[in-house]
């Protein structure tokens, strides 16, 4: 999931440099959503691992 967030972030940067504002904004918003999903899943995995050890 983090891999896809980085891919969309790179696409957004390249599109922004080349002047494609709409594509850059779309790719950036997709990257932001994927990154937030990754953070939530990572926190849930850490918490579940901490509770299983006890």
Q: Domain boundaries in the chain?
A: 2-49
Do residues 4 and 34 make contact, with C-beta atoms less than 8 angstroms apart? yes
Q: What is the mean pLDDT of residues 41-53?
A: 90
Quote the CA–CA distance of 47 and 33 in Å, as a whole number: 21
pLDDT confidence of residue 47: 93
DSSP 54: -
Q: How far apart are CA 52 and CA 33, in angstroms?
A: 29
Question: What pLDDT is attached to residue 54?
Answer: 62
Closest CA to 34 of 10, 6, 13, 14: 6
pTM of the model: 0.77
**pLDDT tens digits, residue range 12-44?**
999 999 999 898 999 999 999 999 999 999 999
């Amino acid at each position: 999931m983090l891999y896809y967030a980085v891919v969309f972030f790179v696409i957004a940067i390249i599109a922004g440099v080349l002047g494609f504002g709409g594509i850059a904004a779309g790719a950036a918003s997709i990257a932001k959503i994927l990154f937030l999903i990754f953070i939530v899943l990572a926190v849930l995995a850490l918490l579940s691992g901490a509770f299983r050890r006890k």
